[in-house]
């Protein structure tokens, strides 16, 4: 991966560090200019210290140079503010026409990109973490970036060599999706790295984790909104995996991850707490796919040097009004939607 100078992330004097997560641009050589205008508005409103791009950045079949030029253009509001940013991979990023590794090389050549090359002996591309330093000069928070977007249907076929025993059956654990989830070796990578960090610094370092597709445990929040203090909207069935890879359980056992954040599902901005861990979606920012005008936006995640974490959805509708609508003559979405058990529909 290209070597560019990466800044050290640090907590402010107030002890707060702000992350803006946006995802699902679903764009490429051409895109609706409202996408970049929306990113500009979110940056101006939220004033983050770091931007995390949560997957499905690219759709067109492109070369490495074309991907770099496209992402540099889209991210220009971030770059001109000299903000650091990091990107994880989404399922559609695997359809760009170049290898994901090439796509990540393209990102790494853009100003401010914090991505580092992940371990080659672990599944996925771009598994890495970023420390946020405390005032004592040691990591006070760890930001875990996970590539979870290899389709489970492809993995089952690869591992078993047959499609005779199908992944998706009539009675399902989740919502009937073959989308990905962190694989066991990725779970072990996180677990081992977390243990090394604890041993090195003599303490568990709190963390926040970012991936494209929600974990199956997110369904507990969807299905039990009152018990899980759920806030936000669920307007489609979450695309979480049918086979559970164990990442949530590993996070519970390690006891360091305070929040896990997802993109992927364009019509979900729900947040809630399950087993003491915040989980939340950021809806979507793009215009070239299914999206609702009143949900489109991003998610603010405030982490604190004392280990606390807070989050909220930020909607372009509340910042830009009609300017954020795909079609100013027709509102997509609206307040008629509410939390529903869509997996039973």
Q: Which of 46-60, 99-113, 166-180, 277-291 has the lowest mean pLDDT?
A: 166-180
* Most distant CA pair in the chain, distance: 59
Higher-confidence position of 308 and 95: 308
pTM assigned to the model: 0.92
Q: Are 7 and 122 in contact (CB under 8 A)?
A: no
pLDDT at residue 106, rounded to an integer: 82
Most confident of 35-39, 100-104, 167-171: 35-39
Distance, in Å, from the CA atom of 66 to the CA atom of 103, rounded to the nearest integer, reads 10
pLDDT at residue 161, rounded to an integer: 64
**For 119-150, how does the pLDDT look when each residue is reduced to its tens digit (9 = 90+)?**
989 988 889 999 999 999 999 999 999 998 77
Answer yes or no: is pLDDT of 164 > 80: no
Distance, in Å, from the CA atom of 206 to the CA atom of 143, rounded to the nearest integer, reads 9
Answer yes or no: is pLDDT of 2 > 70: no
Structural domains in the chain, CATH included, are 9-344 (3.60.21.10)
Q: Are 48 and 282 in contact (CB under 8 A)?
A: no
CA distances from 14 to 11, 19, 301 (A): 8, 15, 16
Task: Please give the backbone phi and psi of residue 113, each rounded to the nearest 5 degrees, phi first.
Answer: -70, 130
pLDDT at residue 290, rounded to an integer: 87
**For 40-91, how does the pLDDT look when each residue is reduced to its tens digit (9 = 90+)?**
999 999 999 999 999 888 766 667 788 888 889 999 999 999 999 999 988 7
pLDDT confidence band for 29 (50 / 70 / 90): confident
Answer yes or no: is pLDDT of 162 > 70: no
Answer yes or no: is pLDDT of 166 > 80: no
Distance, in Å, from the CA atom of 238 to the CA atom of 9, rounded to the nearest integer, reads 32
Answer yes or no: is pLDDT of 96 > 70: no
Percent of the chain with pLDDT over 90: 63
Q: Are 194 and 253 in contact (CB under 8 A)?
A: no
pLDDT confidence band for 251 (50 / 70 / 90): very high
pLDDT at residue 281, rounded to an integer: 97
Most confident of 24-33, 100-109, 157-166, 270-279: 270-279
């Amino acid at each position: 991966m290209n070597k560019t100078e990466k800044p050290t992330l640090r907590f402010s004097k107030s002890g707060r560090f702000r992350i803006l997560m946006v995802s699902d641009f679903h764009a490429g050589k051409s895109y609706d200019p409202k996408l970049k205008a929306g990113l500009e508005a979110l940056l101006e409103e939220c004033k983050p210290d770091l931007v995390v791009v949560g997957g499905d950045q690219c759709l067109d079949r492109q070369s490495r140079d074309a991907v770099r030029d496209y992402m540099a253009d889209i991210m220009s509001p971030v770059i001109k503010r000299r903000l650091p940013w990091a990107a994880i991979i989404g399922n559609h990023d695997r359809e760009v026409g170049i290898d994901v590794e090439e796509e990540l090389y393209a990102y790494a050549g853009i100003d401010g990109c914090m991505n580092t090359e992940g371990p080659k002996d672990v599944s996925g591309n771009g598994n890495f973490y970023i420390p946020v330093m405390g005032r004592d000069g040691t990591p006070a928070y760890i930001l875990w970036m996970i590539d979870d977007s290899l389709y489970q249907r492809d993995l089952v076929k690869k591992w078993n060599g047959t499609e005779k025993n199908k992944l998706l059956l009539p009675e399902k654990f989740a919502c009937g999706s073959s989308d990905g989830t962190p694989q066991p070796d990725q779970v072990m990578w996180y677990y081992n790295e977390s243990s090394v960090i604890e041993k090195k610094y003599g303490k568990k370092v709190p963390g926040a984790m970012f991936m494209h597709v929600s974990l199956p445990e997110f369904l507990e929040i969807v299905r039990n909104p009152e018990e899980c203090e759920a806030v936000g909207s669920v307007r489609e069935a979450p695309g979480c995996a049918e086979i559970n890879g164990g990442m949530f359980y590993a996070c519970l056992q390690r006891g360091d991850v305070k929040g896990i954040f997802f993109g992927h599902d364009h019509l979900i901005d729900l947040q809630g707490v399950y087993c003491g861990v915040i989980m939340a979606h950021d809806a979507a920012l793009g215009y070239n796919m299914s999206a609702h005008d009143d949900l489109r936006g991003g998610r603010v995640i405030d982490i604190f040097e004392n280990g606390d974490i807070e989050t909220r959805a930020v909607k372009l509708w509340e910042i830009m009004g009609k300017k954020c609508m795909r079609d100013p003559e027709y509102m997509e979405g609206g307040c008629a939607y509410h939390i529903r058990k869509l997996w039973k529909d």
